[in-house]
Amino acid sequence: MEVGIVAQKGNNRAAFLAEDLRDRLREVDVRVAVDEATADALGLDGIPVAEMDGVDLVVSVGGDGTFLFAARGAGGVPILGVNLGEVGFLNAVAPEEAVDAVLAEVEAFRGEGMRVREAPRLAAECDGWRSEPAANEVVVQGARRGRGGGVGYEVRVDGSLYSSGHADGVLVATPTGSTAYNLSEGGPLVHPSVDGLVVTEMCAEGGMPPLLADPGAAVSVTLTDADEAVVITDGRGQRTLDVPTEVTVATTEPPVRVAGPSSDFFEALGKLQ
């Protein structure tokens, strides 16, 4: 078995815990790959996070942002999140329980197999271009937000017109991402056991309430009345598009596969207050 470890960059506590996990895993004959930034902090050899899709389990040590970063490289590999952040919707394991939780997954892998939960990913497409998969959200917006910015838009769900007008942009989120950027834009909270795509208009002039669409739906956003627009995935990947254009957002493979215990959704919500 091989385990990959991705620790929050610049966080000494995360790096030291990654080193402890590495040592304990090697004691039980597990090969360990550490991300390059963590390896530099510890004086080790590391691999790019983009190559973590070749291991059997990825351990993310940090906050939800670190988990999303690890998920980009993990592909369909199960991820176990150790929470060093404040909220921890994606990271269910406390630091003091990290070693035991990871070793339990090693034992499961060597036995009947790890139990994993799946969460959807989204991708945007436009004129032959396809975005990186997003675990939280895809944002389609004008090149500039606020007064004098934004973009004209029409939103269709499986071809049927849902809303139109002028807005800063349109956000499409997974249930996982409902607690992230979607929430700050006035979108609804969605329990992780509920399937669906959340469609939220961003600072729309009029518009419609946020919508929970079928998880298999295709959400198309037609953009007008601007020179440029941008597509942003999970706050990282960004693509500039010429307007007018149409962007389609839908679920994509592989889903995020989450290993280890589940976080308490309502307990994590309480930390947002």
Examine the fold and report which residue of 81, 114, 147 is the final residue of a domain before the chain moves on: 114
Would residue 186 count as lying in a domain? yes
Question: Strand 211-213 and strand 245-259: pairing?
Answer: unpaired
The pLDDT assigned to 44 comes to 93
Q: Is 182 annotated as a binding residue?
A: yes
pLDDT mean over 123-140 = 96
Are residues 207 and 245 located together in one domain of the fold? Answer: yes
Domain count, the chain: 2
CA 86 to CA 14: how far, in whole Å?
14
Query: Is the same domain home to 139 and 78?
Result: no
Strand partners, 138: 172, 233
Are residue 127 and residue 94 in the same domain, yes or no? no
Task: Name the band, by pLDDT with cuts 50, 70 and 90, for residue 273.
Answer: low
Residues 125 and 91 reside in one and the same domain: no
Q: Is residue 267 part of a domain?
A: no
Q: What is the pLDDT of residues 76-108, one digit of tens each?
A: 999 999 999 776 788 889 999 999 999 999 999
Length of the chain: 273
Find out whether 181 is annotated in a ligand binding site: yes
Q: Tell me if 273 is assigned to some domain.
A: no
Catalytic residue among 20, 40, 45, 64: 64
The confidence score (pLDDT) of residue 272 equals 72
Q: How far, CA to CA in Å, does 231 sit from each of 5, 25, 68, 119, 135?
A: 29, 40, 18, 21, 15
What mean pLDDT do residues 132-160 have? 93
Rounded Cα distance between 217 and 267, Å, is: 30
- Establish if 24 belongs to a structural domain: yes
Per residue in 13-67, pLDDT (tens digit) is 999 999 999 999 999 999 999 999 999 999 999 999 999 999 999 999 999 899 9
Determine which helix (DSSP H) or strand (DSSP E) holds 47, and give its type and residue range. none
CB contact set of 17 (below 8 Å; sequence gap of 6+): 7, 61, 82, 84, 95, 98
Last residue of a domain, one of 114, 144, 160: 114
pLDDT band at 270 (very low <50, low <70, confident <90, very high): confident
Is 263 domain-assigned?
Answer: no
Q: Which of 60, 92, 114 is the last residue of a domain?
A: 114
Name the residue with tokens 């939960």. Answer: 117
Report yes or no on 146 lying in a domain.
yes
Give backbone dihedrals phi and psi of 228, rounded to 5 degrees, phi first: -140, 160
Determine, yes or no, domain membership for 270: no
Say if residue 100 is exposed, middle or buried (CB neighbours under 10 Å; 0-12, 13-18, 19+). exposed
Annotate 36-45 with b (16+ C-beta within 10 A) or e (fewer).
bbbbebbeee
Q: Are residues 108 and 127 in the same domain?
A: no
> pLDDT tens digits, residue range 167-221?
999 999 999 999 999 999 999 999 999 999 999 999 999 889 999 999 999 999 9
Residue 180 annotated as lining a ligand binding site: yes
Angle, helices 12-27 vs 98-110, to 10°: value is 40
Residues 108 and 160 in one domain: no
141 vs 270: CA distance, rounded Å: 30
241 is in an annotated binding site: no
Q: Are 235 and 170 part of one and the same domain?
A: yes
Q: Is 100 an annotated catalytic residue?
A: no
Q: Do 83 and 140 belong to one domain?
A: no
CATH number of the domain encompassing residue 25: 3.40.50.10330
265 pLDDT above the threshold of 90: no
Residue by residue, DSSP assigns 140-182 as EEESS-STT--EEEEEEETTEEEEEEEESEEEEE-TGGGGTHH
Q: Which domain covers residue 126, as residue numbers?
A: 121-254
- Is 175 part of a structural domain of the chain? yes
Is residue 28 within 8 Å of 104, Cβ to Cβ?
no
In this structure, are strands 57-62 and 79-83 parallel, antiparallel, or unpaired? Answer: parallel
Q: Are residues 144 and 201 in the same domain?
A: yes
Q: Give the domain CATH number at 199.
A: 2.60.200.30
